[in-house]
Chains A and B, each alone.
Chain A
Amino acid sequence: EIVMTQSPATLSVSPGERATLSCRASQSVSSNLAWYQQKPGQAPRLLIYGASTRATGIPVRFSGSGSGTEFTLTISSLQSEDFAVYYCQQYNNWPPEWTFGQGTKVEIK
């Protein structure tokens, strides 16, 4: 079973600043890595898939990088609507399985 580990658990950032979130896989997931944003009371929303491709409608300030076991989500200039919890997820195609990281909460500094 692949384990996904996110760091830090909480990130305190001022609006306009850059945020860098990390995700590590216990074994290679190639580029089968996604990032999701979740706000209170809402279902998660897909931000990044294939480790680095923005989903439809996602602002350019969100970017993803990495492959294999080390991945990064960068928010270049935090806006008020970006304060939320972010999850990474590996999605193995075969056998099909999903694994989520434990989440990083991005809060206002």
Chain B
Amino acid sequence: EVQLVQSGAEVKKPGESLKISCKGSGYSFTSYWIGWVRQMPGKGLEWMGLIYLGDSDTRYSPSFQGQVTISADKSISTAYLQWSSLKASDTGMYYCARRSSYDSAIGHWGQGTLVTVSS
């Protein structure tokens, strides 16, 4: 069974750094792209970027380029989303996601990581 398990909720202050994780299991981790999706409170889904675990090729949405860093450690089947200096506007739920086995639509989602940035 394909599973994406994300790290737990975080509460941070503005200006702090943060790295959240997404661990894949039940499939060949290096054969798929993993994406990150933001959902601000009460708002819709926003694509942030994608990383291919085979060679760490990374693509960012123009809206998030330079704002976050996506990385991965294929030795432990884990993808990461990182901020160097958080803002209050980074508060939201962050999902990792993977395409399905039979189509490029998203067939698998992590449970989400809630990030709260508040002074």
A interface with B by C-beta (< 8 Å): 1, 32, 34, 36, 38, 43-46, 49-50, 53, 55, 85, 87, 89, 91, 93, 95-103
Contact = CB atoms under 8 A, between A and B. Distances in A.
Nearest to B45: A100
Contacts of A95: 59
A103 B45 contact: yes
Interface of B: 33, 35, 37, 44-47, 50, 52, 59, 61-62, 95, 99-100, 103-107, 109-112
A50 B59 contact: no
Chain A binding surface SS class: strand
B107 A46 contact: yes
Given A43-B109, A43-B112, A89-B106, A98 B35 contact: yes
A52 to B, nearest CB: 12
A93 B104 CA distance: 7
A95 to B, nearest CB: 6
A97 B111 contact: no
A93 B107 CA distance: 15
Contact of B105 (A43, A50, A97, A103): A50
B50 A97 contact: yes
B59 A97 contact: yes
B94 to A, nearest CB: 11
A34 B50 contact: no
B106 A36 contact: yes
